[in-house]
Structure 1
Amino acid sequence: MKSSKFLFVLVALFMFVLLVGCTENDSTSGEGNNDVNNNDSNTGNENIKQNDEVEEEKRYTIEAMFNLHTPETPSEYLLELIQDATNTNLNIQWVPDSSYEERLNAAFATNTLPQVLPMGFNMFNQYKEAIREGQFWEIGPYLEEYENLSKLNPDILNNTKVDGKIYSLYQGRPLSRQGLIYRKDWADNLGLEAPTTTDEFFEMARAFTEDDPNGSGENDTFGLTDRNDLIYGAFKTISSWFGTPNNWGEKDGQLLPEFMFDEYIKTMDFIKELHSNGYMNQDFAVTSKTDQSALFKNGTAGMYVGSMGDVMGTYNDAKDIIPDIEYDVHNHIEGPHGEFGVWAIPGYGSVILFPKAAVETEEDLRNILSFYDKLMTPEVANLLIWGVEGEHYEVVDGGALPIEENRHKIDSEVHPYLSLEIGEPETNGRHELVANYEPKVKADRLIRENNDYLIHDPTIVLDSETFVKDGDRLQQIIDDATYQYMQGQIDLNGFNDAVERWKNEGGNDIIAEFNESRDVINGRTPK
């Protein structure tokens, strides 16, 4: 009997709690009345919230390390948009570009590599042995499975191959941007046209120094501004005009370094004469790019050899100093042999590799490749490069025009994420810059025209263990001797002594190894 009474009390108590709970729910959802629609809406919102949480759980998280080319780490405004667009969570370590290689090597040594690992060309060469040892995923067989990754340029992919296999995605770059930017107003004042030969280039440098191109009546100008960089400064491009090979060339059936060719010597003689006559900045061997550019922007120098695309940024800075300044660009300058050529990069600025120690399974690799496939859609590629339409840029004539008054937002919110791009406009479909400055429009056209005159480096896919280990040290011997020769500090015998030192300290091994590697690739038996 007591048991029955106890059961009855429990049932009654349960019914009472249930009734009170239902009443409170009705009161709350109806805000004082029994509004069924409001109650359904609340339930719907809860479902949406739960769905969002489920969707968040489905996101794949990628650990990455990227070069930071700006003074400060970016805000996460664009990052959140990229994550939403790709349904991915990105944990990014931003590493200042100046210390990136050191950080990468430390991570490799301590086995703390991230899943996504960018490398520049030189670093890529240094890690080829680790690639051969199977420490990175081979991704070539997977690319055709992805709609957008399959569009990557096969010629550029070939330039990234290691032993005929593809291990990396690439960040595309024009094969050659090199040419001349010059003061058109000075040239007009002196009745000069754009130089078409190295002799005419020399004459422009002389006239810009001696013939008072700015009409000041003072000896306050000179021709060429250059810097302490034999590659991206003036030297390598002028060397191309003289017909020098790109890093390495073939002579008598053997690959040899560029500085063993007569054209390299002729280039040094040409710049030595510019220097000795005062037609270029005398301290060019120790001049930074910032100081080189300043000489060009402030009205001191009239000629700049380098990336023709720099003309727009140069003009934007220079017009604040000299409001009526005029620039123009030119590329086709023939050397003494009567031909025009220009050195080419491999078609990429950096590559992305995927360490097996961090990307543990094939499923992980596919998730990461899916993320990059989404990055190559035009919508996400535009987001990466240009930001948010209407906020950072406008679409004009099918291209992107940055909103000038929001330049500070572009610098802080957008530019750092350029490191994430894969491919190039031709493969990812993103907008190209709409230039409202005619010399920039011309520069873009000439950069495309350079593709018909490219001088390629034949060792791009070749291997040399000595080059990887000692190449930088040995190259410094040649760089020092090149500067010393052009400044008149040593003669040709002194330069040749430096070449012999290069050969004896490991250069002969590099020559042998590159030639052997070429023989292997071509199916020939090495000698």
Structure 2
Amino acid sequence: MQLATGTKMGALALAACLSVSALAACGSNNGASSAESSTGASGGGQAATEPKTEISISMYDRGEVVSAEGNYENNRWTKWINENGPAIVSWVPVPRNEAQTKLNTLIASGGAPDLIWEYDRNYIAQLANQGAIQPIDEYIEKYSTTFKSYLAEHPELKPYLMVNGKMYAVSSLRGVESVANAGMWIRQDWLDKLGLQAPTTTEEFFEVARKFKEADLDGNGKADTVPIVFNSNGPTVMRNLFAAHWGQWYLEDGVLEFGRISDRYMESMAFQKQLYDEGLLDQEYITDKSAQRATQLWTTGKAGIFLGSWDMESLFKDLKSNDPDAQMTALEPFTTKFGKNGLLQSAIPNILVSFNSKMKEDEIEAAVKFLDWMLETGWKPLRYGEENVHYKTVDGAPQIIDAEKFRTEVQYAKEYAVINQYELKPEWFSVMAATDELSQEYAKERANSLTVAMKNKFRRDIPYSPDLPELSQLIATFNPIAEQIEAKIVTGGSSMTAEAGMEEARKEWSRLGGDNVNKLANEWYQQNKAQLE
């Protein structure tokens, strides 16, 4: 059977299980028939006469493999990989929520896989400092072709791969839909009804919110409109409008400063406090931990601005079911006194794949060549599936044929594409969505929202935070205290100003060892400055 190797394709919409990732239907597992011959399959199959070195790779067990498919270690995908790839791979599943604990146990017992991967760069740095993984600069130079070229084309990845001046991991870029992390939405029909434009400054944002509050836009004759609601992303959205993420470090005149104790963070708190004091922000947001109230206010037409995620299909459809004339559209970040800052965007690397320090050179060579193969062509069938079986190509975009078949046979396979060039294009959403009118309407808004979410540069002065145990310990203690202070600032009326609250937060930071952490962080920055650029 012939597997797709053509045009890059992106993730499909969640409702249709659209995270396009499939392989040829190579027979069932768990005692069922073996995979079909891959003679005609794409992915650079290796001649049968060439011996293949065996390697092992960790992976997340997300519980997505149904019994008919086998298990994470043995299924249609693992067989296809071994038939087509340049190495024989055994996969070592670790529970998603206990991955680091399980990997640490395997490392301590000497049973860790050859390739160990994680999203958490601090964990990879920890393994490097412990000697559990090894630097791979010379091996990439010696054995790699595809990844070496890829890294030259994407030098922005390199800082994330470096520990103490040496490369300890390989990675590939996240798809744009994974980098985008937040979104703002506004009722366009409310703007139109009031003759307003989308706000472009802080002052205009306040003006729009005030008019939303004053006008009886739902026509019920009651003053029950809540202009602004949000889910758990909301406070972060407000902070990032001021370039002040609570967990990031920023460079100010060459000196690192922790975001949560910065002047810009204080200004973001003053902004939120004013919204709350004027009744423009939901007065019950603190107790609305699951955003159930915010969701109800939005979907019943009682709110005009939602701060949350860039992809909010259920809110869109529920709102439209209650008010077919409602128009929900993405709102671009507006300018504050600190300029225009982009919405929250995740760090650009996908997973970080490291090499066990106990690997022999023949195993390292096989692993590098396997990763080259995966990055060049191997990932495509693992993400896309078999054309005309799991998807068909429409206007260059993938369209799921049978959502249930896809969910059963290919949903789990994305775990094997540990390094890939998976990329989503907003213009594909209409093709990937269901054909009904409502789904098509949202597909257009979804594409626009992703474009808006990525339109403005998100401020990230250094690619990652210092990997200091003192910092981790401090933040674990400081953050709950800071949250309590911030709640008092926003909801306490005249009892606490943003300035007074920030003074209190800074005192707590210092009391808990923040001055020493500031010193250590800046020493770390000076030592690692070259690899951070």
Q: Which amino acid is 2:447 matched to? A: V
Query: Which of 130, 140, 143 matches 1:143?
Result: 140
Cα distance per residue 1:99-155 (max 9 Å; x no partner): 33443444445444333333233xx31452430343212223333443331213221
Q: In 2 relative to 1, CA 222–432 (structure 1 residues): closer, same or farther, beyond 3 Å? A: same
Report whether the alignment pairs 1:159 with 2:155.
no
Is the CA contact 2:116–2:353 (under 8 Å) kept in the aligned structure 1?
Answer: yes
Cα distance per residue 1:457-495 (max 9 Å; x no partner): 336264434114443333333234323432328724355
Report whether the alignment pairs 1:435 with 2:437.
no
Cα distance per residue 1:75-107 (max 9 Å; x no partner): 445554445443655544545533334434444
Query: Which of 179, 184, 199 matches 1:180?
Result: 184
Partner in structure 2 of residue 65 of structure 1: 59
Task: Report the TM-score, using the length of structure 1 for normalisation.
Answer: 0.73
Once structures 1 and 2 are overlaid, which stretch shifts more, 508-517 or 269-278? 269-278
Q: Which amino acid is 1:222 matched to? A: V
Q: Distance in 2 between matches of 1:431 and 1:186?
A: 31
SS in 1 for 2:392: strand
Q: Which amino acid is 1:198 matched to? A: T
Q: Distance in 2 between matches of 1:74 and 1:483?
A: 50
Partner in structure 2 of residue 396 of structure 1: 394
Is the CA contact 1:222–1:280 (under 8 Å) kept in the aligned structure 2?
Answer: yes
Partner in structure 1 of residue 370 of structure 2: 371
Unaligned runs of 5+ in 2: 1-38, 40-45, 70-74, 431-442
Percent identity for Structure 1 against Structure 2:
22
Q: Distance in 1 between matches of 2:78 and 2:315?
A: 30
Task: Report the TM-score, using the length of structure 2 for normalisation.
Answer: 0.73
Higher relative contact order (CA 8 A, sep 6+): 2
Query: Which of 119, 123, 128 matches 2:125?
Result: 128
Q: Which amino acid is 2:397 matched to? A: G
Q: How does 1:78-477 map to 2 (within 5 A)?
A: 78-86=77-85, 90-121=89-120, 124-144=121-141, 145-150=143-148, 151-152=150-151, 153-173=154-174, 174=176, 176-218=180-222, 221-228=225-232, 233-244=233-244, 247-251=248-252, 253-285=254-286, 287-288=288-289, 291=292, 294-295=295-296, 296-297=298-299, 299-308=301-310, 310-312=311-313, 314-315=315-316, 319=320, 323-357=324-358, 360-378=359-377, 380-403=378-401, 406-422=402-418, 428=421, 432=425, 434-436=428-430, 437-450=443-456, 453-458=457-462, 460=464, 462-477=466-481
Q: Which amino acid is 1:130 matched to? A: L
Is the CA contact 1:63–1:90 (under 8 Å) kept in the aligned structure 2?
Answer: yes
Q: Which amino acid is 1:141 matched to? A: E
CA drift at 1:334: 0.5
Unaligned runs of 5+ in 1: 1-47
Partner in structure 1 of residue 11 of structure 2: none
Q: Which has the larger helix fraction? A: 1
Query: Which of 506, 513, 517 matches 2:520?
Result: 513
Q: In 2 relative to 1, CA 509–364 (structure 1 residues): closer, same or farther, beyond 3 Å? A: same
Q: Distance in 1 between matches of 2:340 and 2:239?
A: 12
Is the CA contact 1:210–1:222 (under 8 Å) kept in the aligned structure 2?
Answer: no
Q: Computing the radius of gyration over CA atoms, which structure comes out larger, 1 or 2?
A: 1
Aligned residues: 456
Q: CA RMSD in A?
A: 3.8
Q: Distance in 1 between matches of 2:188 and 2:471?
A: 43
Q: Distance in 2 between matches of 1:417 and 1:176?
A: 23
Q: In 2 relative to 1, CA 252–59 (structure 1 residues): closer, same or farther, beyond 3 Å? A: closer
Q: In 2 relative to 1, CA 313–307 (structure 1 residues): closer, same or farther, beyond 3 Å? A: same
SS in 2 for 1:376: helix
Q: Distance in 2 between matches of 1:202 and 1:69?
A: 46
